[in-house]
Amino acid sequence: MSHLVSARDLSAEIEQDAERQVEGPVLVDVQWRLSSGRSASSGPIGRPDYDAGHLPGAFFVDLDTELAGAPGEGGRHPLPEASVVQEVLRRCGVGDGSRVVVYDGRESFAAARAWWVFRWAGLTDVRVLDGGLAAWQTAGLSVSTDEPQPREGDVTVQPGSLPVLDADGAATWARRAVLLDARDPERYSGETEPLDPVAGHVPGAVNSPTRAWVAPDGTFRRDLADHWASVGPGTVGADEVAVYCGSGVTAAHHALALAEIGVDATLYPGSWSDWVRDPERPVATGPTPG
């Protein structure tokens, strides 16, 4: 089963559910701006985009405060508390058997984080709207500025339903299997580092920029398997791949792309922002050997 759903297929699914008078998928809007940062005074950075227009019936979820813990121990976007995730899901009306569809503005970076966090919390039916709100609008489908009232879902989360790595685990993984660094090549090589105090990458990690997995229209590439073969990790088992990025957001997008071709990648949620918290950890620079 694909973890992605197209705008037209989602629209048809919602319409069919309404005709059959059954509960449709819970829609979660995670619009967010990767490079913006968050200002406590201005509120969630994706909220203005949500207010300007979203899928009818979609609930807004803030990546910075509801899909991540406070910056500090564990990096810039550490795992959220399980109680926070449960509260969010219940507010959106999620029950133990609910279907959930998450989306963001276009490229699914933030949506993939929601997809991964919700599955880590134990949900089994979570999909991402491929191409996000942009794809929905390109398909000529309507948007709304009405915010749904909070619901009373009864889901009970089960945190830890997906495996994760800490810094020590990432170091070990890079020595024995394939650890992917999802950041742009300039950050991986140490040429530049706009967000964290140290530039470079985890020794032994292979650079695989997340943006290379995205088509020009913001959807996932249709040749994901061919692209994976071009990354150059050699022949690896489906469970021998782990991935990190700057703070665990675009790494989730990588995990989603790999899941589409049957590769179950393990996430290092703290990622580079966690790795460099300890000055004793080694740092490598330069391009991927090859």
> Residue 149 falls within a domain, yes or no?
no
Mark whether 178 and 268 lie in a shared domain: yes
Residue 271 Rama label (left phi>0; alpha psi -120 to 50; beta): left
Q: Helices 250-259 and 224-231 sit at what angle, rounded to 10 degrees?
A: 110
Write out the catalytic residue numbers.
Answer: 245
Looking at the structure of the chain, the number of domains it has is 2
pLDDT tens digits for 1-36? 899 999 999 999 999 999 999 999 999 999 998 654
> Residue 288 falls within a domain, yes or no?
no
pLDDT tens digits for 54-110? 999 999 999 999 999 999 989 999 999 999 999 999 999 999 899 999 999 999 999
CA atoms of 216 and 78, how far apart (whole Å): 30
Q: Could you say which of 123, 139, 155 is where a domain stops?
A: 139
> Residue 252 falls within a domain, yes or no?
yes
CATH of the domain at 259: 3.40.250.10
Q: Is the pLDDT of residue 225 over 70?
A: yes
Mark whether 250 and 199 lie in a shared domain: yes
> Residue 196 falls within a domain, yes or no?
yes
Q: Could you say which of 91, 121, 139 is where a domain stops?
A: 139
Mark whether 86 and 198 lie in a shared domain: no
Mark whether 9 and 99 lie in a shared domain: yes
- Would you say the pTM of this structure is higher than 0.75? yes
**How much helix, strand and coil, in percent to the nearest 5, is found in the chain?**
35, 15, 55
- The token duo for 184 is 């742009």
pLDDT tens digits for 28-50? 999 998 654 444 446 788 899 99
Mark whether 96 and 218 lie in a shared domain: no
Mark whether 130 and 178 lie in a shared domain: no
Mark whether 131 and 203 lie in a shared domain: no
Range of 38's domain? 4-139
> How many other CB atoms are found less than 10 A from the CB of residue 40?
7
> Residue 28 falls within a domain, yes or no?
yes
> Residue 65 falls within a domain, yes or no?
yes
CA atoms of 290 and 288, how far apart (whole Å): 6
Mark whether 132 and 183 lie in a shared domain: no
